[in-house]
């Protein structure tokens, strides 16, 4: 295995790059992106925390390796595996780059050797391969590992995934069908596609095109994205959640949100801008228009002073003051955009939203955050949330803060930690490490089981008995633990002026244009 590049060397290269960018008069600040400041100072607490996160990763991976190796997911309570993602060994391919980054050499070598045995052209009879999920987890996973390791065998497997999924783009509009049946060769499924499904393929397909030299992949991704962008919609900057693949028309009665079905579409506007090294101005302009629309239509402040992102209900419905954990990626996106698009005006909102997401963890009895929550807005017992400082005592309950738990599960999701990581890189404020550490400790305390980590059923209940689900999704390994690691790692590990992280946290190198 190729050793990791030395820290000193990569820091030197980063400084040289910064100097070159400065000479070219590049306006955005490298130092902020690379998190110089307090974050770069070697920090004893950070090293201890890094070691703890590495320990968690070793534990999670061991569970998968011992009881589910080569299958899609570990079922940690029954010590078994499942193939619910079409038998593409999805936890294994999704985790390769995390193993590499954490320098788990033996585990990485063993997993990489297994990749050659996976047949990405097949799946069990009757199974429909989900284009979005397999793009972000399988294609993204293989590309992320290739970008670090440069082993052509990984790229060949990524191309195998790409050519299998390319068959889904055979619609009249160029939008992909949401799923394909590899056995019947009848690719069409439903024609109802979420914007996240059509608009979260572009980073992976464009990177595959660049690395293989096969432009078809980029063309497929561009055509799908343009269909989403071109279709008529009533609110500038916002996109209805559903579109019809055959007609290319939005379902104007569908909801508007930053949650499931929509979330990563908005993420890839900014991230295409970054992947293309700011050379394609349309993506930045679309991102900026979306941010303005989100501020106007979706962001509100509750009576207790918490800023959140709600949604507009179906059929031109009312505003709903409800937020999914999934939407907690947005503060990180705003912080990244504040930096790379020179939009400092977005940073205060990024910080407020991140704080709200963190408080849903902080003030729940377990310290774990719920899957969906809403905000009460009547006068009464609502208390102002205390200034959230490191080490502060949990004074209020969620109810005191006017937060209503709608779906009480915590299924090991990454989004809040992801935003804390980006905010820490962008601002250098050590509070984000403290918040991330709080969350990590709650994960350790309540979801760690003998053979891995298990989804938690009710974050309001502190007795794990009967409260665990037999599920460990691959994003725990691909994202949650990776973002925790990156939060405590020095900023020259995956510097954000060289890499863009996909929606599944796979690192892709920024392209020349």
Ligand X SMILES: *[C@@H]1O[C@H](CO)[C@@H](O)[C@H](O)[C@H]1NC(C)=O
User: What amino acid positions are annotated as catalytic residues?
Assistant: 133, 263, 371, 415
Nearer Cβ to ligand X, position 124 or 172? 124
170 binds ligand X (CB under 6 A): no
Query: CB of 219: closest distance to ligand X in angstroms?
Result: 9
Nearer Cβ to ligand X, position 123 or 480? 123
Residues 6+ apart with CB under 8 A from 55: none
Q: Rounded to the nearest 10 degrees, what angle do helices 330-340 and 415-427 cross at?
A: 30
Considering CB under 6 A, how many residues would be counted as binding ligand X?
Answer: 14
279 burial type by CB count under 10 A (0-12 exposed, 13-18 middle, 19+ buried): exposed
Using CB under 6 A, pick the residue from 17, 83, 293, 468 that binds ligand X: 83
Nearer Cβ to ligand X, position 95 or 480? 95
Query: CB of 160: closest distance to ligand X in angstroms?
Result: 9
Is 477 in contact with 60 (CB distance < 8 Å)?
yes
- Report the candidate in 69, 87, 60 with the shortest Cα–Cα distance to residue 482: 60
Task: Pick the stretch among 289-297, 299-307, 359-367, 500-508 that binds ligand X (CB under 6 A).
Answer: 299-307
Query: CB of 279: closest distance to ligand X in angstroms?
Result: 23
Residues 6+ apart with CB under 8 A from 215: 209
Using CB under 6 A, pick the residue from 184, 377, 397, 462 that binds ligand X: 377
Is 327 in contact with 334 (CB distance < 8 Å)?
no
- Considering only residues 305 through 334, tell me which ones interact with ligand X, judged by CB under 6 A: 321
* Structure token pair of residue 401: 């803060």
87 binds ligand X (CB under 6 A): yes
| 366 assigned binding-site residue | no
SS3 call for 20: helix
Say how far apart CA 101 and CA 148 lie, in whole Å.
8
Query: CB of 372: closest distance to ligand X in angstroms?
Result: 16
Is 431 in contact with 390 (CB distance < 8 Å)?
yes
Q: Rounded to the nearest 10 degrees, what angle do helices 415-427 and 481-488 cross at?
A: 20
Please give the sequence-ordered ranges of beta strands (E in DSSP) within 217-287, or none if there are none: 242-244
Using CB under 6 A, pick the residue from 214, 246, 282, 374 that binds ligand X: 214
SS3 call for 292: helix
Nearer Cβ to ligand X, position 10 or 82? 82
Using CB under 6 A, pick the residue from 10, 29, 170, 216 that binds ligand X: 216
For the chain, the helix, strand and coil percentages under 3-state DSSP, each to the nearest 5? 50, 10, 40
Is 484 in contact with 53 (CB distance < 8 Å)?
yes
Interface map 122-161 toward ligand X (x if CB under 6 A)? --x-------------------------------------
Residue nearest to ligand X (CB): 163
Using CB under 6 A, pick the residue from 166, 443, 489, 501 that binds ligand X: 166
SS3 call for 375: strand
Query: CB of 371: closest distance to ligand X in angstroms?
Result: 20
Query: CB of 355: closest distance to ligand X in angstroms?
Result: 16
79 binds ligand X (CB under 6 A): no
Using CB under 6 A, pick the residue from 59, 300, 343, 383 that binds ligand X: 300
- Report the candidate in 91, 143, 97, 92 with the shortest Cα–Cα distance to residue 4: 97
* Structure token pair of residue 107: 């585990």
Residues 6+ apart with CB under 8 A from 6: none
Nearer Cβ to ligand X, position 169 or 435? 169
Nearer Cβ to ligand X, position 137 or 424? 137
- Report the candidate in 375, 219, 350, 368 with the shortest Cα–Cα distance to residue 300: 375
Residues 6+ apart with CB under 8 A from 260: 196, 324, 326
Query: CB of 302: closest distance to ligand X in angstroms?
Result: 5
Query: CB of 419: closest distance to ligand X in angstroms?
Result: 21
Nearer Cβ to ligand X, position 85 or 283? 85
Interface map 39-58 toward ligand X (x if CB under 6 A)? --------------------
Is 205 in contact with 140 (CB distance < 8 Å)?
no
Nearer Cβ to ligand X, position 10 or 87? 87
Q: Which residues bind ligand X (CB under 6 A)?
A: 83, 87, 124, 162-163, 166, 214, 216, 300, 302-303, 321, 375, 377
Sequence ranges of the binding site for Ca(2+): 503
Sequence ranges of the binding site: 503
């Amino acid at each position: 295995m190729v050793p990791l590049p030395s820290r000193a060397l990569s820091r030197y290269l980063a400084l040289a790059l910064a100097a070159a960018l400065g000479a070219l008069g590049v306006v955005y600040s490298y130092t902020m992106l690379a998190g110089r400041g307090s974050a770069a100072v070697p920090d004893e607490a950070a090293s201890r925390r890094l070691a703890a996160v590495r320990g968690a990763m070793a534990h999670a991976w061991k569970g998968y390796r011992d009881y589910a190796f080569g299958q899609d997911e570990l079922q940690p309570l029954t010590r078994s595996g499942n193939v619910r993602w079409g038998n593409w060994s999805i936890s294994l391919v999704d985790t390769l780059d995390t193993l590499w980054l954490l320098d788990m050499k033996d585990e990485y070598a063993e997993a990489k050797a297994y990749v050659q045995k996976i047949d990405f052209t097949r799946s069990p009879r009757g199974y429909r391969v989900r284009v979005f999920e397999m793009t972000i987890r399988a294609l993204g996973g293989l590309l992320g590992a290739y970008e670090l390791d440069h082993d052509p065998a990984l790229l060949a497997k990524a191309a195998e995934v790409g050519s299998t999924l390319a068959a889904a783009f055979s619609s009249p509009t160029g939008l992909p069908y949401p799923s394909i049946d590899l056995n019947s060769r009848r690719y069409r499924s439903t024609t109802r596609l979420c914007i996240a499904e059509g608009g979260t393929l572009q980073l992976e397909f464009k990177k595959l095109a660049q690395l293989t030299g096969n432009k078809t992949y980029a063309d497929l991704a561009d055509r799908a994205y343009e269909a989403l962008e071109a279709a008529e919609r009533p609110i500038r900057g916002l996109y209805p959640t559903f579109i019809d693949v055959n007609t290319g028309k939005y379902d104007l009665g569908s909801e508007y949100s930053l949650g499931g079905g929509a979330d990563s579409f908005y993420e890839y506007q900014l991230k295409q801008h970054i992947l293309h090294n700011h050379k394609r101005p349309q993506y930045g302009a679309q991102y900026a228009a979306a941010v303005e629309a989100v501020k106007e239509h979706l962001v509100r402040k509750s009576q207790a002073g918490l800023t959140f992102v709600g949604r507009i209900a179906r059929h031109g419905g009312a505003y709903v003051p409800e937020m999914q954990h999934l939407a907690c990626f947005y503060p990180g996106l705003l912080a990244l955009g504040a930096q790379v698009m020179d939009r400092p005006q977005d940073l205060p909102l990024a910080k407020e939203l991140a704080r709200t997401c963190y408080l849903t963890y902080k003030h729940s009895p377990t310290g774990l955050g719920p899957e969906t929550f809403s905000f009460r807005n009547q006068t009464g017992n609502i208390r102002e949330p205390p200034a959230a400082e490191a080490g502060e005592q949990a004074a209020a309950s969620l109810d005191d803060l006017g937060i209503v738990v709608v779906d009480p599960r915590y299924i090991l999701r990454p989004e809040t930690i992801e935003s804390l990581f980006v905010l820490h890189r962008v601002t250098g404020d050590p509070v984000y490490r403290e918040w991330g550490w709080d969350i990590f400790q709650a994960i350790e305390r309540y979801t760690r089981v003998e053979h891995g980590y298990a989804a938690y059923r009710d974050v309001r209940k502190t007795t794990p008995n009967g409260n665990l689900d037999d599920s460990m999704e691959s994003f725990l390994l691909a994202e949650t633990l990776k973002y925790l690691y990156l939060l405590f790692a020095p900023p020259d590990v995956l510097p954000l002026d060289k890499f863009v992280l996909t929606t599944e946290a796979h690192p892709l190198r920024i392209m020349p244009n």
